[in-house]
């Protein structure tokens, strides 16, 4: 075991002992602001995932919605990156990758629900879903009367 692993093991044991003895309470949630829109990142709930994650190099950045992640990826980050976006199904995420300037998504059938509205509701208004049939059901369930179902290329194009 190398020196760093030993330190991590010792620190973890001390932290666990502090939590168990009541001298320290574990952090239950983190609060952060979206680096693009500056609104609070809506935390995941028991019913729905909300946090969007962008990975570029060694950085891991959380965004309020997939639209914010796309917009900032176009202006701030050059090169390869990955965006992990929540879908309408808890624990089912879409992985969006830009490699060599080319965008792709897994699953490749992903469709984005796009409903104009207040950005304070963006985690609902701009949501990745598995396919167009699922997108239509999601929009109907949410009461979106003017929802559009966009491909990955269309979603990237409209992000500002």
Length of the chain: 160
- Answer positive or negative: Cα dihedral of 27, 44, 155, 37: negative
* Residue 160: predicted pLDDT: 78
Sign of CA dihedral 117, 48, 145, 114: positive
Calculate mean pLDDT across residues 121-149.
94
CA–CA separation, 157 and 41 (whole Å) = 23
Determine the Cα–Cα distance for residues 42 and 19; give it in Å rounded to an integer: 27
Cβ partners under 8 Å of residue 9, min gap 6: 1
Averaged pLDDT, 24-41: 77
**Residue range 14-41: mean pLDDT, rounded:** 66
Taking CA atoms, 102 is separated from 94, 137, 152, 156, in Å, by 16, 30, 11, 11
Q: Is 64 left (phi over 0), alpha (psi -120 to 50) or beta?
A: alpha
Residue 49 bridge partners (DSSP): none
Surface-to-core class of residue 77, CB atoms within 10 Å of its CB (0-12 exposed, 13-18 middle, 19+ buried): middle
Question: Quick check: 138 pLDDT over 50?
Answer: yes
Query: Which whole number is the average pLDDT over 115-127?
Result: 92
pTM of the model: 0.79
Average of per-residue pLDDT across 37-49: 92
pLDDT tens across 56-75, in order? 999 999 999 999 999 999 99
In a 3-state reduction of DSSP, which class is residue 66?
helix
Token output for 23? 């001298």
Give how far the C-alpha of residue 150 lies from the chain's centroid of Cα atoms, to the nearest Å.
18
CA distance 87 to 105: 13
Of 99, 97, 76, nearest to 85 by C-alpha is 97
């Amino acid at each position: 075991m190398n020196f760093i692993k030993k330190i991590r093991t010792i620190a973890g044991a001390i932290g666990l002992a502090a939590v168990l003895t009541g001298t320290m309470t574990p952090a239950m949630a983190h609060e952060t602001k979206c680096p693009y829109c500056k609104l609070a990142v809506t935390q995941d709930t028991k019913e729905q995932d909300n946090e969007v994650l962008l990975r570029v190099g060694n950085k891991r950045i959380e965004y309020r919605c997939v639209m914010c992640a796309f917009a900032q990826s176009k202006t701030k980050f050059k090169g390869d990156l990955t965006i992990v976006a929540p879908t309408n199904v808890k624990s089912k995420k879409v992985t969006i990758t830009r490699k060599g300037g080319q965008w792709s998504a897994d699953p490749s059938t992903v469709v984005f629900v796009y409903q104009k509205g207040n950005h304070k509701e963006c985690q609902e208004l701009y949501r990745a879903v598995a396919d167009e049939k699922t997108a239509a059901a999601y929009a109907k369930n949410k009461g979106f009367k003017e929802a559009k179902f966009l491909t990955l290329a269309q979603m990237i194009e409209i992000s500002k």
